[in-house]
Structure 1
Amino acid sequence: MVFLVCGVSVRDLGVFGAYLGGGVALPGVLLWRALTGGRAWAGLEELAAGVAVGYAVEVLAYLPARAVGMPRLVLVPSVLVVGVFVVVPGLRRFWRNAGRERVPGWCGWALGGVVGYLVVWSALFLYRVPVGRAYVDMPYHLALLGEVKRQVPPTFPSVLGEPLPYHWFVYAEMAATSWVTGIEPVTLVYRLSTLPMTAALVVLVAAVGRRVGGSWAAGVAAVGVTYFLFGPVLQDGVVFTTRSMFTAWASPTQTFGALLFAPVVLLLVRGVRGRDWVVLVLLVAVLAGAKATFLPLLLAGAVLVAGVRWVVERRAPGRWLGVAGLALGGLVVAQAVLFGRGTQGTEIEPFATMRVLWSGVTGVSQGDPAGVLGVLAAVQLFCLACVWGGVAGLGWRRLREPEVLLLVGMGGAGVGAVLVLGHPAESQLYFLESVRPYLSVAAVCGVGVAGRAWAGEGRSAARAVGVAVALGAGVAMVVAGVQGMVRGFVRVEPDLGGLMGVVGPYLVLVAVTVVVVVVVVRRRPLVPARAGVVLVVVGVMAGYGVPASAVEMVRHVVPDEGRRERVVPRGGREAARWLREHSRAGDVVATDLHCRPVIAPGCDSRHYWVAGFSERRVLVEGWAYAESTLSRARAYGGSYLSVPFADTARLAANDAVFAAPTRENVRRLATGYGVRWLLTRIDPRLDGYAALRFSNRAFAVYELPAG
């Protein structure tokens, strides 16, 4: 219903649902049931995992199908899988859900509520928003889909010949869907594709929480922490991020990777055996091109488990060494084959996240002292502990369990990546977002361990946590209120006093935490009080984040109705669409549109709508996300958006045609660079050198003469 209201046709919605159900989910569920040995999985659990497996099969089928020029052959594996499970008698039993567990009704409603919230959020911030005013990166995603729909392996569509060392398999999934269903790429990117991935991920996070925590209540609690609990924010404009999961459509690569990774974790916490390895290999193979960010996290978790088990059991843990080897192999393939050793600007740069925070507060971008960054890093860790402090309740007994060690190892690697890596666009934060579900599961399990110990002494764990959370929330609100009044009179400067102005409120929270610990310990003997200390302290620290989390949740469903920035100018989409319909797939376009129309110094080159809506390669359009830009960003200092285009000769030749057209420079563009079309704002100076094929009130499309 939401999609229909937001402009998706009945035909597109019906065809998309039919393909997702019959071409992706059905073969995926059948393979999941057969390859995991028919073990008892809850219905929702295996449906979500089957969707992930179906997506993986679809992507691996699309790559060779597109490479040989017959993309609709992507349907062949799905048809074969369904056919085999119909014909082979021994496989027919996997059509039935007999003997499988049922998800409790309350749990289904709770998870449905979370998915419903995500639908409302997506509708308000994307689905109902006019395409021309959607999030700035949406044309970039559309351009990548158009590129992968046209050719495999792809290149960077907005800079002709630029390599694409990027996670592009999600665009292969969308391209396959577009070829089979006939749905326009813009409908898939801006509306349909990411919602099923998001919904399946919610279920899989709950499934992992249930397996590790021992109950569906733990699974639902893990989902709640994953999506709705954030670190404290005590002053406007100063956010020690704990990273939101609300990037579903803003980063489809992250969403797709998270969905593929969740069944990997689910299998590992359930216990891998037999044909489970086939599923693991399949998912890791697709993860390598979908979001390789997850592979070093898996490697870190597996190595930690292997190391601890080796010490405890005095023998090589073959299974976990195998998992580590699988993750390492996926990384090697991703880096050497798919990404061509490109890094997209990611470097070892300790405290880069803190440097960006401090620069944003003070306006000083260079020369941040290490001591300042170290203090800010400590505050960042404190904010992370406010969300996931429950890990402290696990105790050594549970920490020795492989599934818990895996989650903790992956979580530690994600946090470490935020502290030691840097990226011009802060993409290192995706490591933290990637482990958010699994840190949440570990934290919920830790609270459960402490809660059971506390309840075993005849006390109410729920009451203790509730009172602690209320206390923490109250303290955070008071501190934030006082800080707001103080900041109205005090300006933050890049010195020690300014640093204290930023971290001072958090020091108050640390002091309150210490006082709470002292009070709890003094009221009870130390050993029996351990569970109580964990519950109360974790509750208080989680409470610190409740006000900020409430504000964030309200903000996500009460969108700013102010003027939305127009990303695609009026008439631009129409001109690009005409060009798509009247040109060949291999034609090259030139444009003088490189910079977004923003009031700022320099050029914000996140300009991708020409390539996005025309589905054609552009000689030079926007270059902000190109490898040649991000790899040079550190040398220029400041924002990566200020980095000039790498090939100055090409840019000069391109722009000369539009600035001062002559027969010679037009011929050079056509013969030297293979340009066939020009898309620009209406300019009568071009009339004598190229044939006008389309025009509206704002834009014109010209065809260059051959040769």
Structure 2
Amino acid sequence: MTLAPPESTLVRLSKSPGRRLGSRWAPAALVCAGAAAVFLWCGVSARDLGLFAAYLGAGVALPGTLLWRGLTGGGRSLPEDLAAGLALGYAVEVLAYLPARAAGLPLLVLVPPVAVVGAFVCVPRLRRHWRGPELRERMPVWCAWLLAGIVAFLLAWSTMFLFRVPMAAAYVDMPYHLALVGEVRHHVPPTLPSVLGERLSYHWFVYADLAATSWVTGIEPVTLVYRLATLPMAAATAVLVVVAGRRLGGSWGAGAAAAGVTYFLFSPELVEDVVFTSRSMFTTWASPTQTFGALLFAAVVVLLARPQPFPRPQWAAQWAALGLLLAVLTGAKATYLPLLLAGSLLVVAVRAVVERRVPRAWAGVAALTLVCLLFAQFVVFRQGGQGTALSPFAAMRELWGQVAGIGPPELASAPLLPLVLLTGVHLFCLACVWGGVAGLGRRALEPPVLLLLGVGAAGIGAAVLLGHPSQSQLYFLEAARPYLSIAAVCGVLAAPRIPWTSAAVLAGLGAGGALVAAAPELSGAPLARVVLPYLVLGAGALLVWRRGFVLAVVALVAGYAVPGSVREVAGHVMPGEEDRDELIPKGALEAGRWLREHSAPGDVVATDLHCRYPWWRLCDSRHFWVSGFSERRVLVEGWAYAESTLSRAEPFVRPYLEVPFADQRRLRENDAVFRTPTAKNVRRLAQKYGVKWLFTGINPELGKYARLRFRNATSSVYQLG
């Protein structure tokens, strides 16, 4: 193990110019240049790219970094300050945008960053924070290259599966994200733009960031959603995972290992199409809310993972930093505050027993988190649950349906035994990824490690005990993934050592065993076909188990995960063979933008476009591009994600995509205008619902009762008098 250099050496290194500094910034410069080249290649204009970079740097990251240093004293390294500062800058931006947009002056979002930068320029006591702490730890060059590799991987994956994919064939939820950006650009508090008057029981603060960016820079929301916005968030999260791993593991190698486990180690996959998921972090653009929440939460963990959080000279300032981050987490992603509450309560409970007194700082963290959680539930989400409910073994029930070849409604009455067995297999698969936790020993009593364990246990528990119509309870597991990975690496470092050669041999044996277990085709009952290969691997782990040989078992079970991890990682950057249906007409974007330019933000639009596949017997109502492109509220477009839909879904009985629209009378009156237009039903739509515009395909009959204002090869826009 390499000892840390003395402080005099750090001072000397901090003053050494030239080649050393350049070598440490070369990875970041290279990945930034690569990202710029990719965005330009994928259609982003040089103007938009430059404006986005300038606003992100000067309007978000710079004031956020100064605040991070001023409130928390700064981190040990410049990458930590920049990544955590970006998170804090996003928090300030969102909290500034909400009242600015509510007041009708969205550009007032620029006041806080200008005020912060001005204060740190003009106030002598604050000027020192432009340089940060005098004694700064440098991230090793090899670690910088590793981080650059992770970001480059995210960039390559995004390029292949989003940036170069035609917009009409992109991931199903992209128009939904776009519609919410348009809604928050014009309305705070927002409602669901695709169903007029429907409450928005959803985490929407990331869309406030995108809306603010669009107002300040003039960049089209579609460019932000489909290209630019989420990559900086994902990159900063990767940096903070390494930083947290370095802080708790004691070395940059520990931080690098934590990032490796977080991003590239997955559950063993022994049976084709039957996956006991450990969730990946590759939802960067598919779920902007998860990506935004992950960055904010990582900054919270880095703040709380300090040896002495909230020291007396700076306690008020650090509480202010924590309060800013938690305030935005209330509406950033619903998964994170419950995890933080569980982790902080575990710290309070264990440390109260060990120290025989309640740790006041951690009790304060738990209390503040609880207040924010209640605010989120009763104010931001308005007591909505978006279909999430207590439903033990819901994920395994879905998996059992694949294994046994049964579906709803029979799946709702599946026997308990296979669900319990499959859950046991799932936990074994998670142990293959995070088995290093078993080696923590007395380190498990340290408050920061307890926090990680509480977050991880809550994430796994939520994935097992909760259910959601579209399996969204698994986001809890994804949210906990970085912190379980850090805890696992800390456990490996704390456990009695074994030679690296022995660990490598055992990991190789595990990988070979996983390949052999996956090879034979087992006949017999479906449950036996799935469970037996994992029982074989579990028996192998038990044979290796002996007291004091925790790392031997960890190496073996981690080896089980290697073949599946290789397939998973390669699959994210290998060209896919699936055909993509282009479900958005080519003229839709042009028509939507025309409508946006010729209507007022409060205007209501009616459309007969509700189903992604109009020729299907059942309506897949995840249709959101009319509200997305026009940035206008629609009387009825897609209702799949409405609270009124998800709350009526019956998991394993009736999927949420089969739930009809809640207000059938409104839907009939809406569709009658397009199917059999008359002066009466057109007038009813205008007078009863305030509709001013009709957006549809080619429908010449409407011209008799409404004024045609725009038409291209695929879309028409009519105005009601």
Residue 603 (structure 1) shift: 0.8
Offset, 1:516: 2.4
Determine the C-alpha separation between the residues in 2 that align with 1:290 and 1:195.
17
Q: Could you tell me which amino acid in structure 2 is paired with residue 670 of structure 1?
A: A
1:392 and 2:438 are equivalent in the alignment = yes
Q: Matched residues in 1 for 2:419 and 2:566: separation?
A: 29
What SS does the aligned partner of 1:646 have? coil
Which residue number corresponds to residue 23 of structure 1?
Answer: 59
Alignment-mate amino acid for residue 457 of structure 2? G
Match of 1:401 in 2: 446
Q: What residue ranges of structure 2 are gaps of 5+ in the alignment? A: 1-36
The 1-side partners of 2:48 and 2:633 are apart by 27
* Residue 126 of structure 2 is aligned to residue 80 of structure 1: no
In 1: Cα distance, 2:558 partner to 2:423 partner: 19
How far 1:579 sits from its partner (Å)?
1.2
Equivalent position of 2:542 in the other structure: 514
Q: Structure 1: give runs of 5+ residues left out of the alignment.
A: none
Aligned in 2, Cα 1:649/1:599: closer, same or farther, shift over 3 Å?
closer
Structure-1 separation of matches of 2:519 and 2:453: 35
Instruction: Name the count of aligned residue pairs.
Output: 674
Q: Does 2:485 correspond to 1:440?
A: yes
Distance across 2 between alignment mates of 1:542 and 1:53 = 35
Task: Specify the alignment match of 1:235 in structure 2.
Answer: 271
Contact 2:469 2:651 in 1 (8 A): no
Output aligned runs, 1:630-641, within 5 Å: 630-634=646-650, 637-641=653-657
Distance of 2:211 and 2:484 partners within structure 1: 33
Alignment pair present for 1:684 and 2:700 = yes
Q: Quote how far apart the aligned CAs of 1:600 are.
A: 4.7
CA apart distance, 1:636: 8.7
- 8 A Cα contact 1:389 1:538, kept in partner: yes
Which one of the candidate residues 568, 571, 579 is aligned to 1:555?
571
Does the Cα contact within 8 Å between 2:195 and 2:637 map onto a contact in 1? Answer: yes
Give the structure 2 partner of residue 145 of structure 1: 181
Q: In the alignment, what sits opposite 2:33? A: none
User: Cα offset for 1:685?
Assistant: 1.7
Could you tell me how far apart the structure 1 residues matched to 2:714 and 2:130 are? 56
- Residue 83 of structure 2 is matched in structure 1 by 48
AA aligned to 1:637 is: V
1:64 aligns with 2:109: no
Q: What is the identity, as a one-letter code, of the residue corresponding to 2:421?
A: V
In structure 2, how many angstroms separate the alpha carbons of the residues matched to 1:10 and 1:149? 24
C-alpha distance 371-561 of structure 1, shift in aligned 2 (>3 A): closer
Structure 1 CA distance for aligned equivalents of residues 135 and 346 of structure 2: 35
Structure-2 separation of matches of 1:105 and 1:440: 23
Structure-2 residue corresponding to 1:340: 382
Per-residue CA shift, 1:156-176, capped at 9, x if unaligned? 000000000100000000000
Aligned residue in 1 for 2:319: 277
Task: Please report how far the alpha carbon of residue 263 of structure 1 lies from its aligned counterpart in structure 2 after TM superposition.
Answer: 1.1
Q: Secondary structure at the match of 1:589?
A: strand
Give the aligned partner of residue 514 of structure 2: 476
Task: Name the CA distance, whole Å, in 1 between partners of 2:463 and 2:246.
Answer: 28
Of residues 131, 142, 150, the one that matches 1:96 is 131
Contact 1:174 1:188 in 2 (8 A): yes
* Counterpart selection for 1:116 from 128, 136, 152: 152
Please, what TM-score do these two structures have when normalized by structure 2? 0.92
Number of the residue aligned with 2:23: none
Distance (Å, rounded) in 2 between the aligned partners of 1:511 and 1:635: 35
CA shift at 1:602, angstroms? 0.8
- CA drift at 1:598: 7.0
User: Of 540, 565, 568, which residue of structure 1 is paired with 2:584?
Assistant: 568
Deviation at 1:563, TM superposition (A): 2.4
- What TM-score do the two structures reach when normalised by structure 1? 0.94
| Map 1:303-702 → 2, pairs under 5 A | 303-361=345-403, 362-364=405-407, 365-395=411-441, 397-450=442-495, 453-454=496-497, 460=499, 462-483=500-521, 486=522, 490=523, 497-517=525-545, 521=546, 526=547, 530=548, 533-597=549-613, 600-634=616-650, 637-702=653-718
2:492 maps to a residue whose letter is V
How far apart, CA to CA, are the structure 1 residues paired with 2:108 and 2:487? 42
CA gap of 1:349–1:562, structure 2 versus 1, over 3 A, is closer
Matched, 1:260 2:296: yes
- The one-letter code of the counterpart of 2:426 is Q
| Aligned equivalent of 1:244 | 280
Structure 1 residues 600 and 232, CA gap change in structure 2 (3 angstroms): farther
- CA apart distance, 1:635: 7.5
Alignment equivalent of 1:299, drawn from 323, 341, 345: 341
- Which piece of structure 1 moves more, 590-599 or 676-685? 590-599
Q: Distance in 2 between matches of 1:196 and 1:579?
A: 32
Q: 1:638 deviation in Å?
A: 2.8
CA contact (8 A) 1:136 1:567 kept: no
Q: One-letter code of the match for 2:93? A: E
1:360 CA displacement:
2.5
Alpha-carbon contact 2:93-2:109 (below 8 Å) kept? yes
Distance 2:474 2:340 in 1: 17
Measured after TM superposition, the shift of residue 235 of structure 1 is 1.5
Tell me, in whole angstroms, the C-alpha distance in 2 between the residues paired with 1:318 and 1:180.
Answer: 42
Question: Quick check: 1:210–1:218 contact (8 Å CA) kept in 2?
Answer: yes
CA offset digits 1:34-60 (Å, max 9, x no partner) = 10134x520101110000000000000
Question: What is the CA–CA distance in structure 2 between the aligned matches of 1:622 and 1:662, rounded to whole Å?
Answer: 24
Residue identity matched to 1:385: A
| Aligned residue in 1 for 2:199 | 163
Residue 561 of structure 1: how far off its partner (Å) = 4.3
Residue 26 of structure 1, CA deviation: 0.4
Higher mean displacement: 695-704 or 203-212: 695-704
Aligned residue identity for 2:309: V
Write the deviation string for residues 319-378 of structure 1: whole angstroms up to 9, x where unpaired: 110010011011010011111111111101111111111113322323111111111111
Report the Cα distance in structure 1 between the residues aligned to 2:460 and 2:490, rounded to whole angstroms: 19
Deviations 1:293-343 (A, max 9, x none): 101101111111111111011111101100100110110100111111111
Distance in 1 between the 2:530 and 2:600 partners?
56
Kept after mapping to 2: 8 A contact 1:197/1:259 = yes
Report the Cα distance in structure 2 between the residues aligned to 1:598 and 1:91, rounded to whole angstroms: 61
| Structure 1 equivalent of residue 21 of structure 2 | none
C-alpha distance in 2, partners of 1:366/1:82?
A: 58
Relative to structure 2, which stretch is displaced further, 89-98 or 385-394?
89-98
The alpha carbon displacement at 1:601 in A equals 3.9
Rounded Cα–Cα distance in structure 1 between residues aligned with 2:361 and 2:458: 20
- Return structure 1 stretches of 4+ with deviation > 3 angstroms: 598-601
In the alignment, is the contact (CA less than 8 A) between 1:386 and 1:542 conserved in 2? yes
- Contact 2:412/2:651, CA 8 A, preserved across alignment: no
User: Structure 2 CA distance, aligned partners of 1:562 and 1:411?
Assistant: 35
* Cα distance change, pair 549–598 in 1 and its aligned pair in 2 (3 A): farther
Any idea what SS the aligned residue of 1:557 has?
A: coil
Letter in 2 for 1:704: L
Contact 2:230/2:285 (CA < 8 Å) preserved in 1?
Answer: yes
SS at match of 2:620: coil
Percent same amino acid at aligned positions?
Answer: 64
Query: Whole-Å Cα distance in 1 between the matches of residues 109 and 137 of structure 2?
Result: 33
Question: Distance between the aligned counterparts of 1:240 and 1:229, measured in 2?
Answer: 13
